[in-house]
Structure 1
Amino acid sequence: MYTSNDILDFGKNIGLRLSFVYEFQPGYIVWAIKNKDNFKIDVESFLKLPNPRLIKSISSEVFSELFGVEVGNITDAYGLRLNAIDIKNSINDNSMTFSDDFFEFPKSIIKLNNLKEVN
């Protein structure tokens, strides 16, 4: 079982501490619970962390780099192709804006997580 202090050993956020990924990309943890059979978290360790930064919008330049399409500002979860470091770095260059919305793991994800039998 992974805690918020563990280091990811797979995927685009490999080598990053889970608390860091949670801070900048909590949706990646939700994705991992849904898609990785051996990924189970200690939910309580994440609930003790500050609320993560949720992407509100992405500049058209960043979107164009990611998807090769010219559009206006995007207000959706297109940060999925970015890793947590990319999202953190965007704070400094103002290419993304962040919401003050409160994040919590969906009940269905907590239920799925709790059903997993992982050593």
Structure 2
Amino acid sequence: MAVFTFEEIDRRFGDVPEDTEAKMRAKAVLAERQAAWDSLDERLGYSRAKQAEEEAFSLRDGRLNDLFVKPAYSVAGVAAKLHAVLAMGDDSPGDEFPWPQIRAAMTDLLNLSSRPSSI
């Protein structure tokens, strides 16, 4: 049986009196393994690194959202958006391709091309 919390153990065993000893052993094993994980995690810093990674991705996503909700006012601005899309693809090869961002860049290009030329 695979469980990850004491609540899961309680649900699996229920309140059957003849299962009380097995339930207590399962809880002891889980507590022992959790303590070993916590000790290793503290030494290696996995949870701290994971938290820092999540914060960095959240910050990146916020910045990218800021970039794509604002219209570009030049070809260089559109190029910057497309460069960001390509960089996103390089950083996240397993993720779904960023179609909304490409559509935003295409809208900007169409809007720029429909304006009267300033030449």
Relative to the length of structure 1, the TM-score reads 0.24
- The answer to which structure, 1 or 2, has the higher relative contact order (CA under 8 A, 6+ apart) is 1
Higher strand share: 1
Higher helix share: 2
